[in-house]
Amino acid sequence: MTKSEDTIQLAHGSGGLMMQKLLGDLIFREFGNEILAQHSDSAILQIGGSQLAFTTDSFVIDPVFFPGGDIGKLAVCGTVNDLAVCGAIPLYLSVAFIIEEGFPLKDFETIVRSLALEAKKAGVRIVTGDTKVVNKGKCDKVFINTSGIGRFREDGRTLGGTATITPGDKIILSGTIGDHGMAILNARESFQFRSSLVSDCSCLNFLIHSVFDAGFQLKFMRDPTRGGVAAVLNELASEIPYGIEINEDSIPLNPRVRAMTELLGFDPLSVANEGKVVMIVPETDAQAILKTLQSNESGKDAAIIGVISNERPHKVILNTFSGGKRLIDVPAGVLLPRIC
């Protein structure tokens, strides 16, 4: 019998510890270079006198249609957001489809139209792509791969980088967490809870650049997809010589998500999102940046949820409702497979 440690497991794609180990022990080791070593959602490329952001992503979500979107919309949002959280303005996308033989043409048409509409709304153009069809049973309905290219702002406003983060900097979350992961779980055949949960799947580029347009500087951004806010904050904590403290009573959470996660025993901090951004901002600008975000429909529930601290370097600590403290670790194992 094959040992589980000798085979790829679902947890290797979950955004948690096993995925980090796979990346560190194999992917980064074999592909390693100074650009990949940035460990960013997008590669920052210097081409002649221009600096560009380049990213790629694949989408295997189940089900392909879900409350708040479908795999086509998700493919655009996921790629646009990976560019935007690096401070880039998304410009161009590629789209490649792998389609299972027998997939309804009407459903594929719906996905393509959804993808085209979301790209138009985000202000990006689809300029190249590919289509493959495989035998029935050789893939599950349809998979999509996208790549994206973006440029950086002419006014020079971009991310300061982790080296600029200092104690006292505030942590801002652009809205409620866990909506996407719980909406997908609820939409699956084996989890039919009676709930009006809707995915937060949306493009963040206009929300993010409204902060730059207002004249503010951001130090760090990441969209908390697989592994959720917990994975993002732990990754950040590992890269800076400080600790991170967040407050449970400050974290925006849909009551339906709270009820569902409590019922199933999930930590909402580890649940995936597809339309939220975590920002590290200077303490002096935090309230003004928060107001800027809240003035946008996509950021109306934004909140300051924590602070960079001198205490407990490399750790993420949650100040709980009850007044205690709890260590927030990188998610282990697989929480929800195929949520993006």
Taking the C-alpha atoms of residue 27 and residue 48, their distance in angstroms, rounded to an integer, is 28
Q: Is the pLDDT of residue 18 over 80?
A: no
Taking the C-alpha atoms of residue 89 and residue 204, their distance in angstroms, rounded to an integer, is 11
Q: What is the CATH number of domain 41-152?
A: 3.30.1330.10
Q: Is the pLDDT of residue 334 over 70?
A: no
Q: Which residue, 326, 197, 305, 202, is CA-closest to 255?
A: 197
Angle at the Cα of 253 from the Cα atoms of 178 and 310, rounded to 5 degrees: 90
- Confidence at residue 4, expressed as pLDDT on a 0 to 100 scale: 64
**What is the band of 5 on the pLDDT scale with cuts at 50, 70, 90?**
confident
- Confidence at residue 35, expressed as pLDDT on a 0 to 100 scale: 84
Average pLDDT over residues 329-337: 75
297's CB contacts (< 8 A; 6+ apart) are none
- Confidence at residue 1, expressed as pLDDT on a 0 to 100 scale: 42
- Confidence at residue 195, expressed as pLDDT on a 0 to 100 scale: 67
For 273-301, the pLDDT digits (tens) are 999 999 999 999 999 999 999 999 999 99
For domain 162-327, give its CATH number from 3.30.565.10, 3.40.50.1370, 3.20.20.70, 3.90.650.10: 3.90.650.10
Taking the C-alpha atoms of residue 185 and residue 176, their distance in angstroms, rounded to an integer, is 17
Q: Is the pLDDT of residue 2 over 60?
A: no
For 189-207, the pLDDT digits (tens) are 555 666 678 999 999 999 9
For 209-238, the pLDDT digits (tens) are 999 999 999 999 999 999 999 999 999 999
Q: What is the mean pLDDT of the chain?
A: 92
Residue-range domain boundaries for the chain: 41-152, 162-327
Q: Which residue, 190, 194, 189, 277, is CA-closest to 232?
A: 277
Q: Is the pLDDT of residue 39 over 50?
A: yes
Q: Is the pLDDT of residue 247 over 80?
A: yes
Average pLDDT over residues 106-117: 98
Taking the C-alpha atoms of residue 267 and residue 103, their distance in angstroms, rounded to an integer, is 35
Q: Is the pLDDT of residue 7 over 70?
A: yes
**What is the band of 14 on the pLDDT scale with cuts at 50, 70, 90?**
low
Average pLDDT over residues 111-122: 98
Q: Is the pLDDT of residue 145 over 60?
A: yes
